[in-house]
Chain A
Amino acid sequence: MEFMGYRRADGTVGTRNYVGVLSAVVCVNEVVENIVRQVQGTARFTHHQGCCQTPLDIGKVNHALIGLGRNPNLHSVIVVSLGCESTDLSGVIAGIQASGKRVEHLVVQEIGGAVRTAAQGVLLAQDMVREASLQQREPFPISELVLGMKCGSSDTTSGLVPNPAIGVASDLLVAAGGVSILGEVTEFIGAEHILARHAVNQTVAKQILHLVDRMEKRAMAVGEDIRGGQPTGGNIKGGLTTIEEKSLGAIAKAGSAPIQAVYEYGERPTVKGLVVMDSPGREPEILTGLAAAGANVIAFATGRGAPQGFPFVPVLKITGSRTAAEKMSDHIDMNLSGVIEGTDTIPDAGKRILEELVRVASGGMTKAEISGYSNAMDIFMWGPVI
């Protein structure tokens, strides 16, 4: 099976061809928005980090911005900086340049204010978009796809239909030589023993259990029952009672392939096959983590209807709930409610998900892209704002 993608200098393949405009720090989000608003063919990444944080978290910001800039769906990159942030601007630029991409930067305090910076940025972005627009799509085997997996606004149908169907699609992609990334470590709690059995060896099994233990301890350190936060109020309305129940449904996305490796948040896989990446379950942080890890397409299961996409990675929304498919039709791409109604099966649905992912990878737009519902992103932090 093949898809039509964009060849990148570092050997990766993009499914989109944007000029990325990235905020180095929360204080320049407005400048980034003003540039992106005025130049077609750009995509933003804004967030709330980059200053007054512990060195550990600043390191995570640097790492995430490098990963995002290197994402194959970006043809070239503009990094916007204020000039006094903690983010390591030169390190971020060098990290992205290592992929062979054109990287430009704008420093608001040097240029002299948001208005002049936005004006320079618009002119620069116009030039870069023109250059990007000359690149043609070419055929590539689907082994070049890096699939990110996620479920959101889950109800009990999520664990019964779209999650196991995504697991089938993931298995098919892995069998074809691709990469599939499972995140949402919070939603391993109560199901980690099953995932550990999927590990390719004892080392990987221990790493999975360690990630879950670390996430659970961080949540428990607050001194409260996590219910209401996980599962969320919406999950509970949808019939999910405990995090264990939510997790057992969520890990169905792993399918049956062996887990080859475990990575930190936003770290790029260096192996093919199914891998686990540390991340929480909330959309802004996990979608960012998947994109920073190099995902060029994302499959997203939903029960009640979650609207979030990502600015430069297509996010395919899949539900097993007829109610969600009909009520939230402006957000849902695939309706698999036939599985519950007895007219469809998980293996057939999973095969159709892979076919749809290939169409999307080749340029077919998702609902989240068409509606532009993708801007509320953030980077996963551990420590306090200080």
Chain B
Amino acid sequence: MVVDAIALHSTDNVATTVQDLVPGQMATVRLNRDVLQVVIQEKIPYGHKFALRFIPQGQEILKYGEVIGRATADIQSGCHAHVQNIESLRGRGDLPKEG
């Protein structure tokens, strides 16, 4: 079985690609011993992430079962999930200090 991407935890809403993926492709995603199928909507380079399901703006992004950031826009299933639609919640000296 050729694996196209890896998800690391059952709660993850993104998967990491281990191949370059192209729009329209049915990606095989390994999650431990299970296999998921996701239709890819955009070009996803090797090592990058795509949404495993619809992620609304403001929702936390989960990888390793942990929060890695927050969606700054709606991300459709199979779309590229990266710096253009995810922000970090840490080291943000640019944000006003919380009261």
Contacts and interface: CB of A to CB of B under 8 A. Distances in A.
Of B18, B49, B69, B91, most buried by chain A (CB within 10 Å of CB) is: B91
B66 A248 contact: yes
Interface of B: 3, 6, 8, 16-18, 45-49, 61, 63-64, 66-69, 81-83, 86-95
For the complex of A and B, 8 pairs with smallest distance between CB atoms: A226-B91, A239-B47, A220-B93, A242-B88, A245-B68, A239-B48, A242-B69, A156-B47
A323 B18 CA distance: 11
A33 to B, nearest CB: 37
Interface stretch (A49-57, A188-196, A261-269): A188-196
A110 interface: no
A1 B3 CA distance: 37
Given A189-B91, A222-B93, A248 B18 contact: no
Contact of A227 (B18, B81, B88): B88
B64 to A, nearest CB: 5
A242 B82 CA distance: 9
A194 B9 CA distance: 15
Given A239-B49, A241-B82, A241-B83, A248 B91 contact: no
B93 A156 contact: no
A342 interface: yes
Contacts of B93: 219-226
B18 A239 contact: no
A194 B65 CA distance: 12
Contacts of B68: 190, 241-242, 244-245, 248
Contact of A241 (B46, B49, B91): B49
Interface of A: 155-157, 159-160, 189-191, 194, 216, 219-227, 230, 236, 238-239, 241-245, 248-249, 303, 321, 323, 340, 342
26 contacts: A156-B16, A160-B6, A190-B88, A220-B92, A223-B94, A224-B93, A225-B88, A227-B91, A238-B47, A239-B16, A239-B46, A239-B47, A241-B49, A241-B86, A241-B88, A242-B68, A242-B88, A243-B88, A244-B67, A244-B69, A244-B90, A245-B63, A245-B69, A321-B47, A323-B46, A342-B3
Contacts of B82: 236, 239, 241
Given A194-B66, A245-B68, A248-B64, A225 B92 contact: yes
Question: Of A190, A223, A321, A342, which is in contact with the most chain B CB atoms at under 10 Å from its CB?
Answer: A190
Q: Chain B at the A interface: mostly helix, strand, loop or mixed?
A: loop
Contact of B94 (A216, A225, A238, A241): A225
Given A236-B83, A241-B83, A244-B68, A230 B91 contact: yes
A245 B48 CA distance: 12
B96 to A, nearest CB: 11
A347 B66 CA distance: 23
Contacts of B95: 225
Contact of B66 (A156, A224, A244, A323): A244
Nearest to A190: B90
A189 B91 CA distance: 8
User: A223, A225, A238, A245 — which one has the most chain B CB atoms within 10 A of its CB?
Assistant: A245
A156 B87 CA distance: 17
A303 B69 contact: no
A227 B49 CA distance: 17
Nearest to B93: A220
A241 B63 CA distance: 11
B46 to A, nearest CB: 8
Nearest to A186: B91
Contacts of A220: 91-93
Contacts of B18: 340
B13 to A, nearest CB: 13
A221 B86 CA distance: 23
A249 B49 CA distance: 14
B91 A239 contact: no
B10 to A, nearest CB: 16
B49 to A, nearest CB: 6
A224 B90 contact: no
Nearest to A244: B68
A340 B68 CA distance: 22
A242 B91 CA distance: 10
A160 B61 CA distance: 18
Contacts of A190: 66-68, 88-90
A358 to B, nearest CB: 30
